[in-house]
């Protein structure tokens, strides 16, 4: 799992039937001190309650698809949890 920040949402005019009703979010993986890692990506919101600016836990690969009710779906990244606070040796993340 990877810590990420939600940058916004995606509106899709067409989706795979297995993703019907599932929110798609733009996320940015972040490092221990809050710095951006890599490029932003699209993830399915398996919690159904994520909003812009929130810290989340992100899972990739086949495990991402298994986070949804219909596990036969094209998801490669999934938001599994909302993070309330992160305490680390580097300090608290915003």
Q: Per-domain residue ranges for the chain?
A: 2-92
Task: Judge contact between 29 and 3, C-beta under 8 A.
Answer: yes
Whole-number pLDDT of residue 39: 98
CB 37 within 8 A of CB 27: no
Q: For 41-75, write each residue's pLDDT tens digit.
A: 999 999 999 999 999 999 999 999 999 888 899 99
**DSSP E strands: which ranges in 11-60?**
24-29, 41-45, 55-60
- Each residue of 1-42: pLDDT tens digit? 999 999 999 999 999 999 999 999 999 999 887 899 999 999
Q: Tell me the mean pLDDT in the region 65-88.
A: 91
> Is the separation of the CB atoms in 40 and 27 below 8 Å?
yes
Q: How many CA atoms lie less than 13 Å away from 10 in the CB half-sphere?
A: 19
Q: Has domain 2-92 been given CATH number 3.40.50.970? A: no
């Amino acid at each position: 799992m990877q810590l990420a920040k939600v940058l916004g949402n995606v509106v899709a005019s067409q989706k795979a039937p297995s993703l019907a009703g599932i929110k798609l979010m733009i996320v940015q993986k972040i490092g221990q001190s809050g710095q951006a890692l890599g490029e932003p990506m699209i993830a399915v919101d398996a919690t159904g309650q994520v909003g812009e600016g929130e810290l989340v836990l992100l899972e990739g690969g086949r495990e991402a698809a298994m986070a949804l009710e219909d596990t036969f779906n094209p998801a490669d990244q999934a938001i599994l949890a909302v993070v309330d606070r992160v305490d680390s040796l580097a300090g608290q993340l915003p």
